[in-house]
Chain A
Amino acid sequence: MHISDGILSAPVLIAGFIGTAAVAAYTLRQLDLDDIPKVSVITSVFFVASLIHIPIGPSSVHLILGGLVGVVLGIRAFPAIMLGIILQTILFGHGGVTVIGVNTMMLGGGGLMAYAVWQLRHHFNINKKEMIFGGLAGAMGIFSAGIVLALSLVTTGEEFIATAWYTLIAHIPVMIIEALVVGSCAAFLARVKPDALAGQLPLVTPIPAPATTTTTEATKASNEDSPK
Chain B
Amino acid sequence: MKAYYTKNKAIISNPYQPARCCIAAMATIFLLITPTAFAHKLNMFAYVEGDEIFAEGYFTDGKKAKNSTITVFDPDNKQLLQGTSDDDGQFTFAIPQQSDLRITVNAGMGHQAEYVLLKDELSDETGIAITTTSQPSNTTSDITSNNNDPQTTALPPIATRIENGAIRAEVERAVGKAIKPLMRELSTMRAEKSLADIIGGVGFIFGLFGIAMYFKSRKQP
Contact = CB atoms under 8 A, between A and B. Distances in A.
Interface residues of B, number: 41
Contact of A2 (B110, B200, B205): B110
Interface in A86-126: 87-88, 91-94
B204 A87 contact: yes
Interface string B157-201: 000000000000000000000000000000000010100011011
Contacts of A152: 110
B110 A149 contact: yes
B25 interface: no
Nearest to A192: B19
A52 B112 contact: no
21 contacts: A3-B110, A4-B42, A7-B112, A33-B220, A36-B209, A36-B213, A40-B208, A44-B202, A48-B198, A52-B198, A53-B39, A62-B39, A83-B208, A84-B205, A87-B204, A91-B201, A92-B193, A93-B191, A153-B109, A163-B109, A188-B19
Given A6-B104, A33-B216, A36-B213, A92 B197 contact: yes
B38 interface: yes
B137 to A, nearest CB: 44
B205 A44 contact: yes
Contacts of B108: 158, 163, 166
Interface string B18-33: 0100000000001100
Contacts of A188: 19
Interface residues of A, number: 44
A38 to B, nearest CB: 10
B144 interface: no
A92 B206 contact: no
Interface in A1-32: 1-7, 31
Given A6-B112, A7-B110, A167-B109, A92 B41 contact: yes
B11 interface: no
Given A87-B201, A192-B19, A149 B109 contact: yes
